[in-house]
């Protein structure tokens, strides 16, 4: 779908990937503060709480000044945004001459698109302030005490091939393919800027105007070795992604952002460069401190002569504020009490005044389901999933053999949240994503999936017939099969099977593989484009901000969208059944995708054993029974894929087999 750019300013999109290259093995930035000596967990606990650190006003001023100084040295009139760990915008500085608008990249698999070849948000003009904020949130949300990822890292893990390069065509897509369409501005989970102070003003996670970004120029910020926020720099007029990791770029936006985090850089031992996925080292930055000039640390020297603070509608009032301490009530993410969740390590989301935002509760769908999930059943599944998470070996954390950290969400068949619980240091991005996953698996397994999609104008309604034709099943999307996110993800790739470039796209992807880009992915983007466009026009001063609740689908009987924060298309969720009846879904996000799969699948299985009567979908209806006939090959969909030997306390292997 081509989105026009009107006189009001625009339509832009949420995903964001890097427009610069990475290469081989980039040298890590130096100057990172060593991580704090780990505090042993207290008695009865497996995880330690993150140290209480936060950005002060003086910290934010210095970070901005350092970034502005390097941008000046490079002749880059940029916009700099700083956020805290839960996404509160602490300050936005616009340098003199910084472009008001930035173009979303026109790059597709088939080259640089124009005219009728533009699809999705390609070519849209978006406020440059939103690009900077999205980059800052990406750095903050993808990082933790065990890993530090940048927007360049994000670019590497969301494209059609992993790692992205001209020589890797034919490899599968990135492990977090689709994560760019999370933290959306229309999400009902993400909190919104109120402009005020007091209880609830700083709760997170806050939304991002463009979702997660992979355009270089976004880094996490660490203070005394503890992640406390992120910085984003935009100013070159292009919001894109990097299709080639084999080169090393001299990127001005990334250099300015790197200057900004000097004195606030992550410990080198946890940067993306130290973490590998499927044998490939991730990238943190193509710049090093040796590329930087002398640091400008005085905010007074740049505030005025070089530009000034600006207000951003929906995000900042134009002043600098201090960040919230992650883990405190004020941040909206804190440790649960024994009454709230029966595990001393569990964290929950709160309203800033002491009350849980998503307390454990029973299903709300009694009008359409004979026996909805009870509160006891929901609690049992969440508790058992958290136990599996706590025993699992992490994929993306350092040091090696750390415990997995993630978020677990549960929903009923209406998409209503029945509970959200997270480990203390799980990356913040996994909160919204785990809910997306739970809702997506539930929706596509629901008998109403096809009719709901058909109720939306083209191009959304077109996907139903595409799926039915592709699967040679006129009853597809009517509840005949249980779809995990891994299954729906199979159908959402620009090549089917995933990565095989000689093949056609999956039925939930773009119509032609050559038109794919991270800004034009198919159904996932088409469901939310209108919401994102309306929000960006609101930021630009034209129109009202849409009410929380993404997608154009009809509301459930509860009066809200079943997928109120968008769908997700990478693994980590399964639907929940009572016999042959769908009753809900569970989603997990924050670590490796196989770990996420295992926690959802095995946690549900164990919860079902504990209370009886509920569990995973019957084997006969799982999506891995579906075989797609490609003429010269037959390809089976996948359901879940668990790590081979996942536990720190048990040598057991193939722990999901036969369940």
Residue 654 half-sphere exposure, CB side, CA atoms within 13 Å? 3
Average pLDDT over residues 616-622: 98
Q: Which helix (H) or strand (E) holds 376?
A: helix 375-391
pLDDT one-digit tens code per residue, 291-310: 999 999 999 999 999 999 99
% of the chain surpassing 70 pLDDT? 94
pLDDT at 15: 25
With 70 as the cut, is the pLDDT of residue 577 above it?
yes
pLDDT at 209: 98
With 80 as the cut, is the pLDDT of residue 375 above it?
yes
Average pLDDT over residues 366-372: 97
Taking all residues of the chain, what is their mean pLDDT, rounded to a whole number?
A: 93
In degrees, rounded to 5, the angle at the alpha carbon of residue 301 between the alpha carbons of residues 299 and 304 is 90
State the DSSP code for 624. Answer: G
pLDDT at 198: 84
Average pLDDT over residues 460-476: 98
Average pLDDT over residues 541-570: 95
Judge whether 341 and 382 are in contact, CB under 8 Å: yes
Average pLDDT over residues 505-509: 98
State the DSSP code for 520. Answer: B
With 90 as the cut, is the pLDDT of residue 35 above it?
no
With 70 as the cut, is the pLDDT of residue 2 above it?
no
What is the β-pairing status of strands 101-104 and 238-239? parallel
Average pLDDT over residues 451-476: 97
pLDDT one-digit tens code per residue, 210-258: 999 989 999 999 999 999 999 999 999 999 998 999 999 999 999 999 9
* Site of tokens 């359901």: 639
pLDDT at 110: 86
State the DSSP code for 464. Answer: H
Query: Encoding tokens for residue 492?
Result: 């959402």
Distance between CA atoms of 163 and 166, rounded to whole angstroms? Answer: 10
With 90 as the cut, is the pLDDT of residue 610 above it?
yes
pLDDT one-digit tens code per residue, 376-403: 999 999 999 999 999 999 999 999 999 9
Question: 3-class secondary structure for 117-185?
Answer: HCCECCCCEEEHHHHHHHHHHHHHHCCCCCCECCHHHHHHHCCCCCCCCHHHECECCCCCCCHHHCCCC
pLDDT at 122: 87
pLDDT at 175: 95
% of the chain surpassing 90 pLDDT? 89
Judge whether 596 and 486 are in contact, CB under 8 Å: no
Average pLDDT over residues 515-528: 94
pLDDT one-digit tens code per residue, 42-82: 778 999 999 999 999 999 999 999 999 999 999 999 999 99
pLDDT at 60: 98
pLDDT one-digit tens code per residue, 620-645: 999 999 999 999 999 999 999 999 99
pLDDT at 33: 60
3-state helix, strand, coil in the chain (%, to 5): 25, 15, 55
SS3 12: coil
With 90 as the cut, is the pLDDT of residue 431 above it?
yes
Distance between CA atoms of 515 and 531, rounded to whole angstroms? Answer: 22
| More confident of the two residues 124 and 77 | 77
With 50 as the cut, is the pLDDT of residue 23 above it?
no
Furthest C-alpha separation in the chain: 69
Residue 196 confidence class, pLDDT cut points 50, 70, 90: confident
With 50 as the cut, is the pLDDT of residue 7 above it?
no
Where helices occur in 261-359 by DSSP H, the ranges are 299-302
Residue 25 confidence class, pLDDT cut points 50, 70, 90: very low
Residue 415's CB is within 10 A of a number of other CB atoms, namely 30
With 50 as the cut, is the pLDDT of residue 17 above it?
no
State the DSSP code for 555. Answer: B
pLDDT at 39: 66
Contacts (Cβ under 8 Å, ≥6 apart) of 135: 16, 81, 151, 213, 215, 217, 218, 230, 231, 232, 233, 234, 257
pLDDT at 119: 85
SS3 393: strand
With 90 as the cut, is the pLDDT of residue 115 above it?
no
Average pLDDT over residues 432-451: 98
Q: Which domains does the chain have, with CATH numbers?
A: 57-328 (3.30.450.150), 336-446+571-622 (3.30.450.150)
Distance between CA atoms of 483 and 440, rounded to whole angstroms? Answer: 9
Residue 31 confidence class, pLDDT cut points 50, 70, 90: low
With 80 as the cut, is the pLDDT of residue 3 above it?
no
Least confident span in 15-19, 347-351, 445-449 = 15-19
With 50 as the cut, is the pLDDT of residue 9 above it?
no
pLDDT one-digit tens code per residue, 265-294: 999 999 999 999 988 999 999 999 999 999
Q: Specify the pTM.
A: 0.94
Q: Omega before 219 cis (within 30°)?
A: no
pLDDT at 20: 31
Residue 197 confidence class, pLDDT cut points 50, 70, 90: confident
Residue 6 confidence class, pLDDT cut points 50, 70, 90: very low
Q: Give the closest residue to 296 by CA, choosing from 72, 571, 583, 21.
A: 72
pLDDT at 37: 59
Distance between CA atoms of 374 and 348, rounded to whole angstroms? Answer: 20
Contacts (Cβ under 8 Å, ≥6 apart) of 647: 391, 392, 393, 655
Average pLDDT over residues 569-581: 98
pLDDT at 19: 28
Distance between CA atoms of 208 and 548, rounded to whole angstroms? Answer: 13
Distance between CA atoms of 421 and 333, rounded to whole angstroms? Answer: 10
Residue 12 confidence class, pLDDT cut points 50, 70, 90: very low
Least confident span in 24-33, 102-111, 114-123, 198-207 = 24-33
């Amino acid at each position: 779908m081509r989105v026009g750019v009107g006189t009001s300013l625009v339509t832009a999109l949420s995903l964001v990937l890097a427009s610069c290259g990475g290469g081989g093995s980039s040298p890590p930035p130096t100057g990172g503060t060593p991580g704090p000596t780990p505090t042993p967990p207290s008695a009865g606990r497996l995880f330690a709480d993150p140290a209480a650190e936060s950005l002060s006003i003086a910290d934010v001023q210095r970070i901005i000044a350092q970034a502005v100084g390097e941008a000046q040295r490079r002749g880059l009139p940029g916009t700099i945004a700083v956020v805290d760990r839960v996404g509160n915008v602490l300050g936005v500085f616009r340098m003199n001459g910084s472009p008001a608008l930035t173009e979303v990249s026109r790059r597709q698999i088939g080259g640089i698109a124009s005219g009728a070849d533009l699809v999705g948000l390609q070519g849209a003009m978006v406020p440059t302030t939103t690009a900077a904020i999205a980059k800052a949130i990406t750095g903050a949300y993808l990082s933790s005490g065990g890993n530090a990822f940048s927007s360049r890292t994000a670019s590497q893990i969301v494209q059609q091939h992993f790692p992205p390069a001209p020589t890797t065509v034919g490899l599968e897509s990135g492990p977090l393919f689709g994560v760019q369409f999370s933290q959306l501005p229309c999400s009902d989970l993400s909190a919104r800027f109120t402009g005020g102070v007091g209880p609830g003003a700083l709760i997170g996670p806050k939304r991002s105007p463009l979702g997660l970004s992979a355009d270089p120029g976004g880094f996490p910020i660490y203070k005394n070795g503890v992640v406390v926020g992120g910085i984003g720099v935009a100013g070159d007029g292009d919001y894109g992604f990097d299709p080639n990791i084999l080169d090393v770029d001299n990127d001005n936006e990334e250099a300015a952002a790197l200057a900004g985090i000097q004195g606030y850089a992550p410990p080198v031992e946890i940067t993306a460069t130290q973490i590998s996925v499927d044998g490939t080292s991730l990238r943190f930055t193509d710049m090093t401190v040796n590329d930087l000039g002398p640091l400008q640390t005085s905010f007074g020297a740049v505030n005025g002569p070089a530009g000034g603070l600006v207000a951003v509608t929906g995000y900042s009032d134009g002043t600098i504020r201090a960040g919230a301490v992650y883990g405190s009530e004020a941040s909206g993410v804190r440790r649960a009490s024994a009454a709230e969740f029966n595990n001393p390590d569990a964290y929950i989301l709160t309203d800033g005044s002491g009350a849980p935002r998503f307390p454990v509760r029973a299903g709300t769908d009694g009008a359409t389901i004979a026996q909805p999930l009870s509160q006891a059943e929901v609690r049992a599944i969440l508790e058992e999933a958290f136990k599996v998470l706590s025993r699992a070996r992490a994929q993306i954390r350092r040091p090696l053999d750390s415990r997995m950290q993630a978020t677990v969400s549960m929903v009923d068949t209406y998409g209503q949240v029945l509970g959200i619980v997270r480990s203390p240091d799980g990356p913040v991005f996994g909160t919204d994503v785990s809910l997306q996953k739970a809702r997506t698996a539930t929706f596509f397994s629901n008998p109403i999936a096809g009719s709901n999609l058909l109720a939306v104008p083209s191009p959304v309604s077109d996907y139903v017939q595409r799926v039915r034709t592709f699967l040679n099943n006129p009853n597809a999307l009517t509840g005949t099969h249980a779809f995990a996110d891994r299954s729906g993800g199979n159908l959402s790739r620009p090549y089917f099977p995933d990565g095989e470039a000689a093949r056609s796209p999956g039925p939930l992807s773009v119509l032609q593989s050559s038109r794919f880009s991270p800004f034009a992915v198919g159904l996932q983007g088409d469901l939310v484009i209108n919401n994102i466009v309306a929000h960006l026009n609101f930021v630009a001063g034209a129109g009202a901000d849409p009410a929380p609740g993404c997608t154009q689908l009809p509301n459930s009987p509860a009066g809200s969208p079943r997928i109120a924060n968008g769908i997700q298309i990478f693994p980590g969720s399964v639907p929940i059944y009572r016999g042959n009846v769908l009753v809900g879904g569970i989603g997990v996000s924050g670590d490796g995708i196989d770990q996420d799969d295992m926690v959802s699948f095995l946690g549900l299985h164990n919860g079902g054993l504990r209370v009886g009567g509920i569990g995973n979908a019957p084997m006969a209806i799982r999506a891995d029974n579906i075989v797609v006939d490609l003429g010269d090959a037959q390809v089976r969909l996948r359901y879940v894929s668990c790590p081979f030997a996942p536990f720190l306390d048990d040598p057991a292997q193939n722990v999901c087999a036969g369940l």
